[in-house]
Structures are given as structure tokens and as C-alpha cells.
Amino acid sequence: MAALGGKAAAFSLVCVPECDSTNTRLMAEPPPDDGRVHVFAADVQTAGRGRRGRVWQSWPGASLTFSALWRFAPGAPVPAGLSLVAGLAVARALEGLGVEGVQLKWPNDVLIHGCKLAGILVELMPGRGRTPAAVVGIGINLRLPADAAIDYPTGVTDLAACLPSPPGASALLARVLDELQALFEIYAAAGFPALRGAWQQRNAFADLPVRILGEAESLSGRCAGVDEDGALLLETDTGMRRVLSGEVSLRVVS
Ligand code: BTN
């Protein structure tokens, strides 16, 4: 973890050529609570998971795929908004590399000029009597195969298309971990309200007409940003509605 410089001691890193899913690995075999952030990365995942039961497809060298186990202060609830903060950290890491047009699609897809570059899957660890913890799983497309068929309503992109000389996976991982640590520190001290403005600046759908596709109902309105818990605010014909990040998906209405 040389790329993390002086912060390297705060992390432990395991990199494997292949596993089922880096989230699954950390959830199934949580490393000891030794004060470090435990990171598990794989070049290829054979059962990579996305939100809403989707699959994160994998090819060698195509994406940076890793998960980090974050533990919070004993007794602290793992508050809402965590996955939005993870998206913001990825956005800031990309901006630091000079990527232009980085936007966030609620709850936590990272888009470049509308196309998906990265996805995030946050899973809370069952923590009865234990330190609250979350597994933050991140996939960032580095160089997708030309024939990759990934189903996403507005298309997908990769870092090779965004930068003339994109960084390697380990340099990118170090940048994202650095941003995650900085933002999670702010979040632990002051909650999502301290980061809400930064998230909203990058909101891909700010003020646009959108439709939320839920399990049972769909809801249309103007995207009015996010509230202090990270819930999506939707201005509908019948007033402002809050949408929690459960099993819903967001579409812009053309
Ligand atoms: C999504 O776009 O729906 C979320 C995708 C999250 C993919 C990452 S890749 C690393 C980690 N391991 C997984 O199985 N999923 C996450």
C-alpha cells in the first residue's frame, strides 16, 4: 500500500486474483477489529453483486473491484447517507485525477457525462452487541472489453475513455481509500449534513423531472436534491416526498 504514504498503517489490504465477491468475502469472514480499515480487492469476481439483485460483471483488468470494512465508534448507530458518502469519495478521487463531468446518481452510481463509471454496494454487518460496521463495496470500470454488454439505461463508460493516461488499479485504489477515510471521518463527527452540499453539487438529476421505480409503485416529480439523512427529495403534484434508498431505481423522464 505504498501509494497511501503515511496513511498506509491505517489499512490492511488483501488482494486476490479471483473470488466470488469481495463484499461476500468480508461479510462471511470479517477480519479482527484491530482499529484498521480492512480492504479486500480482487482482479476478477465470479459472483460480483450490485444493488437490487444485479450482477457486477467481471473481466481480467476491466475494473477495480474492492470492499472495505468500516467500523464505527462503539454504540454509534450506522446512520443513513453512508452510501452517498462513498459515492462522493469516488467522485472526489476521480476529480483529483482530472476526470471531467463526474456526477452522482442517487443513491450511489457514479456517472461521467451521464454514463455509468462506478457502482457502490454498501451492506451493513449484523452487529448485535458489536461495533457497528459496514462493508463498502466499490467497482470502477478501468478498461471494459469492446464487446462487454452491460445493461444500463444511459450506457456505461470506463476510465480509459476519460483520461489520456489512466492510473493503474492500485494507484486508483489508494486515491479512493484516501478520500473515503477523509470523508468518513467528517461523517462520523458531523453526519451527512456536513457533506450534503458537496453531494448536491454533483447531483446528476438536480431539478430534472424523474421517475422512481419501486417494488410496488412508481412516483414522478422534480428531483429536489437530498435531505439531511440522504433521502431523495421529490417534489410531486401532491407535495414533497422523501424516498429512502431501499429497493428503488431512478430514471430521468424525457
Ligand atoms: C451497483 O452498481 O449496483 C453496485 C455495484 C457494486 C459492485 C462492487 S464490485 C466490489 C464489490 N463486490 C461486489 O460483489 N459488489 C461490489
57 lines ligand 1 (CB under 6 A): no
C-alpha 121 chain-centroid distance: 6
Which of 25, 71, 116, 175 is catalytic? The answer is: 116
Please confirm, yes or no, whether 7 is among the known catalytic residues.
no
> 236: CA distance to ligand 1 center in Å?
31
Instruction: Give the pLDDT score at 128.
Output: 63
Instruction: Give the pLDDT score at 1.
Output: 64
> 53: CA distance to ligand 1 center in Å?
10
pTM: 0.94
Instruction: Give the pLDDT score at 213.
Output: 79
Which of 36, 211, 241, 251 is catalytic? The answer is: 251
Instruction: Give the pLDDT score at 246.
Output: 55
Per-residue pLDDT of the chain in tens (254 residues, 90 and over written 9): 667 777 888 999 999 999 999 999 999 999 998 989 999 999 999 999 998 889 999 999 999 999 999 988 776 666 678 999 999 999 999 999 999 999 999 998 999 999 999 999 999 887 666 677 899 999 999 999 988 888 888 899 999 999 999 999 999 999 999 999 999 999 988 989 999 999 999 999 999 999 887 766 788 899 999 999 999 999 999 999 998 865 556 667 76
> 223: CA distance to ligand 1 center in Å?
25
Instruction: Give the pLDDT score at 5.
Output: 77
